[in-house]
Amino acid sequence: MKNQTHFILAILFILIANTLIAQTSPNYEFRGVWIATVENIDWPAKKNLSVAEQKASFIRLLDLHQSNGMNAIVMQIRPTGDALYPSQYEPWSEYLTGKQGLPPNPYYDPLEFMIAETHKRGMEFHAWLNPYRAVFNVFKSSVAPSHITKIHPDWFVVYGDKKYFNPGLPEVRQHTVRVVKDILSRYDLDAIHMDDYFYPYRIAGKEFPDQKTFEKFGGGLSKDSWRRSNCDSIILDIRSTIKNTNPRVKFGISPFGVWRNKSQDPMGSDTKAGQTNYDDLYADILLWLSKGWIDYVTPQLYWERGHKLADYDVLLKWWNENGYGKHIYIGHGIYRGGSNEAWKNKNQIPEQIQALRKYTTTQGSIYFSSKTFEKNLNGWNDSLRNNYYRHPALVPPMPWINNDAPDQPSITSKSNAVTITYNGHLKIKGFGIFSVPLGKEVKFINSQLLQLIVTNKEANINLNNVPDVNGNKLYIATIDINNNVSALKELK
């Protein structure tokens, strides 16, 4: 491992030293990728791959995303009331083994494996759970006898070709909370993440079949207000569960890109979306942000710049004006590459990144989805790794969760061999090597992160392999697991 670290550092710094013009990038920026398991969209590539193939393909994905400069993955671990991990509450996912309820053979825990591999690279693992979808296709999906739809059929409704948990039932919320608490208790997660599927998108001419539940639990509210109240309740319950179980874990939502249109509400965006979070999915994202029930929001801005009904730039501005001090990571529809004239433009994604970086209230990006990066559409992999994400970045810390900076590392030199050691009490992610231009005050805001060395205590560096970077000074700092950074200490 030490030799590997030396090699990586040598290559990295030689490349940087030989670069005449350095494209600076933020030291703090969320750079994530959604990895979808439902219908085997991203991973595993198909059902019933061997365990060896599952592991190898996941490692390939991580290596690809790391090489593109990503620092987080958003991994779907509960696509349809099932699990990509051993659970006492829900059966093994059919997307893993081909048959719901069937464990991998030879047995292993995919979630434990995925978290370990992700953290080994210094990346964050956000566990993506779908709250209400229970059976993806009632005509084709594999459903195990142990699936919750078989045990409590009265908790579910069919809408279109899918079966959903009925959000109006207290038992449904209690079950979801149990699932979340179980995951938080057993796994080293960085975040719980939920997407846009709260109440399902409307099907023309069909009403979601919850009238009887409304009559029983409506409590004098209108049906729309009651449905929103049901979604509010599950978000608040999950928030409380996280804080009581593992308070360092973040809670994020990636909603549909339009909260409400201005034609529906003066606070809404200047858009003409056919369906909205508030009116159709019953997800009042602004309430959750304003109450501090979620830590970050990732609006799915899958439209291009200049779109007639939902302009990326219009929505980017609107979300930045309505973030309530929480983190905003923009959801990019990179999967749309090549789908129409706007998305054949190789500058579409680069210009979206440039636009969001102009807002101090936006902290990064998440891309849907992993599979697209395997094709390098429009050369966007190259744009990220060679330009926009050429320098690594840390996931932005959340001071309302933790704001305790770790101690500086100690440096022990023997000839040209340097040992970097952390002697503090906080759990750390590792060390960062930074450059600071000559004449600038030595502090984080003036620095450029060049390399993250992942370790829980100690690292070894050969100074012969660490040349000066265009005459800049090099510094080392401790980075804790919450991405807080110590004061910089001169390395060379």
Question: For a pLDDT cut of 70, what percent of the chain falls above it?
Answer: 95
Greatest Cα pair distance, the chain, in angstroms, is 78
Q: Has residue 6 got a pLDDT over 60? A: no
Summarize the confidence of residues 63-86 as an average pLDDT.
98
pLDDT tens-place string over residues 250-264: 999 999 999 999 999
Residue 466 has what pLDDT?
A: 73
Residue 14 has what pLDDT?
A: 39
Summarize the confidence of residues 103-130 as an average pLDDT.
98
Q: Has residue 7 got a pLDDT over 50? A: no
Residue 1 has what pLDDT?
A: 45
Local structure of residue 70 (DSSP, 8 states): -
> Which has more confidence, 293 or 20?
293
285: confidence class by pLDDT, cuts 50, 70, 90: very high
d(CA 313, CA 362): 13
SS (H, E, C) the chain: CHHHHHHHHHHHHHHHHCCCCCCCCCCECEEEEEECCHHHCCCCCCCCCCHHHHHHHHHHHHHHHHHCCCCEEEEEEECCCCECCCCCCCCECHHHHCCCCCCCCCCCCHHHHHHHHHHHCCCEEEEEECCCEEECCCCCCCCCCCCHHHHCHHHEEEECCEEEECCCCHHHHHHHHHHHHHHHHHCCCCEEEECCCCCCCCECCECCCCHHHHHHHCCCCCHHHHHHHHHHHHHHHHHHHHHHHCCCCEEEECCECCCCECCCCCCCECCCCCCCHHHHHCCCHHHHHHCCCCCEECCEECCCCCCCCCCHHHHHHHHHCCCCCCEEEEEECHHHCCCCHHHHCCCHHHHHHHHHCCCCCCCEEEECCHHHHCCCHHHHHHHHHHHHCCCCCECCCCCCCCCCCCCCCEEEEECCEEEEECCCCCCEEEEEEEEECCCCCCCHHHCEEEEEEECCCEEEEEHHHCCCECCEEEEEEEEECCCCECCCEECC
* Full set of structural domains in the chain with CATH: 29-388 (3.20.20.80), 410-490 (2.60.40)
> Could you tell me the two tokens for 208?
């979601």
Summarize the confidence of residues 332-343 as an average pLDDT.
97
Residue 467 has what pLDDT?
A: 64
d(CA 172, CA 178): 10
Residue 21 has what pLDDT?
A: 34
Q: Has residue 400 got a pLDDT over 90? A: yes
Residue 468 has what pLDDT?
A: 64
Q: Has residue 18 got a pLDDT over 70? A: no
Q: Has residue 108 got a pLDDT over 50? A: yes
Average pLDDT of every residue of the chain: 94
Residue 415 has what pLDDT?
A: 82
Residue 471 has what pLDDT?
A: 77
Question: For a pLDDT cut of 90, what percent of the chain falls above it?
Answer: 91
50: left (phi over 0), alpha (psi -120 to 50) or beta: beta
d(CA 52, CA 17): 39
